[in-house]
Structure 1
């Protein structure tokens, strides 16, 4: 198997990510703050795709463009998590609940949680890798449309994160639900734009050879499932209902959970 074969690249990315996550797991045992796993996922994805840009086959200009897109997305998100949720911040309520649920098995469970993040780095690095390996000359019109979609999605997510962070910093908003800016139209606009971001690689991948394009769907399908059914909206809303019950229930009745849309009149 060639070192530049897609399976070899993915396997190497997974091994390197697993080693990275062991180091972060050891650090977490000292810090007692599971948000470090989210930061590790973001920065780990950026490092893996940067490595793909030098090691994967494909047209060099396209490899450079895709690496730049992933780098800007992942570093922006990872830095936001680092500053907003980790640095001198209490652990997120969702992670505190996990810590209590895991009890005495906590260290081992957290180890495997970090290893799950390592596998997720390799998994989500596949759509950019598919786009990078396109041997055709750059850049097809559909690829430029994908870059435009990427810009809308990453900007939307950054704006939503910023609006929520500014809202939370005001002491008079401590017990209030954020309904400002994009949060007026969606209860989770950051999640919506995160999901939309993964569609940008699907659009760019339409210029790839037909046999590989379908692999780009891994990104939005997996991320959509995680955000809608597993670690995103269900965890967040359960925790928020505990803290802001009646007020948040009204927000749920009036405002879409995911896709931004004008709120309903009650």
Structure 2
């Protein structure tokens, strides 16, 4: 590993997230923070792929996967954020922080810069393999990565269609991929970083470090900033309808629907 390159990439993540902090301070629209974060990972991931010492084909593969991930996620978040103003999650934090909000928000976004660097590091390690291309791990990673991108795009599309229906104001999404996971978009997001870790494993034992990316994403999505605040909000706004959904559908990993529970009225379903 080239420590100088990795240090430069880490510094870039810090600078970009500082810029995100400045934009939030100027506009009050913190929803753009997530869009900027995805762009930071994209820029860092593509740069890391090209700075790696792997074969040209492998660097192209990793760079392309990261670019597709960023275009899909950044575009989705950007469209969702446009004109939405302050993100409720950040609004709550800023209110709790009071007079220290500016400094604590900057610190919080620097933690996000560290998280971004861990993903960038996974891209670097995935692109560093010097063995023959394509290897079994390259092909497996490509298949998993494409499936993850397609699955997340489909889940978001299904949810967007549901949100345009009148019942979305009182009901919960429970059809399509959402019939088998309460958060299929989060699952496929995690799966994408598994794909890069799989490619990295083809580079030998050092590729094991890339496993930090899916481990981190699982922890963040399932235990920190993903499912917990979203489900707290859903319980407040949907009440028993969402509790009934929790009893029938897995939170993260897709699986068979559970039966034997009292169901809510048909308006709970799409």
Q: TM-score range by the shorter chain?
A: over 0.9
TM-score, scaled to structure 2: 0.91
Matches within 5 A, 1:44-63: 44-63=40-59
TM-score, structure 1 as length reference? 0.92
Matched, 1:141 2:173: no
Distance 1:149 1:171 in 2: 35
Residue 160 of structure 1 contacts residue 190 of structure 1 at CA under 8 Å; is this kept in 2? yes
Q: Pick from 89, 101, 105 the counterpart of residue 100 of structure 2.
A: 105
Q: Mark the CA change 1:56 to 1:213 in structure 2 (over 3 Å): closer, same or farther.
A: closer
C-alpha separation in 1, matches of 2:179 and 2:236: 21
Q: Distance in 2 between matches of 1:166 and 1:113?
A: 33
Task: Map 1:153-172; keep pairs closer than 5 Å.
Answer: 153-172=148-167
In the alignment, what sits opposite 1:121? 116
Q: Distance in 2 between matches of 1:205 and 1:261?
A: 28
Specify every segment of 5 or more residues in structure 2 that has no aligned partner in the other structure, as ranges: 262-270
2:233 aligns to what?
239
Q: In 2, are the aligned partners of 1:93 and 1:239 still within 8 Å (CA)? A: no
C-alpha RMSD of the superposition:
1.5
Structure 1 window deviating more from structure 2 (89-98 vs 236-245): it is 89-98
Taking a change above 3 Å as real, the CA distance of residues 98 and 27 of structure 1, as seen in their structure-2 partners, is same
Q: Deviations over 1:222-244 (max 9, x none)?
A: 11111111111111111211111
- Alignment of 1:92 with 2:87, yes or no, is yes
Q: Which runs of 5+ in 1 are unaligned?
A: none
Q: Deviations over 1:64-90 (max 9, x none)?
A: 110000110122101111111x10124
**How many aligned positions are there?**
260
- Structure 1 outlier segments of 4+, above 6 Å: none
Tell me the residue number matched to 1:212.
Answer: 206
2-side partners of 1:252 and 1:50: how far apart? Answer: 38
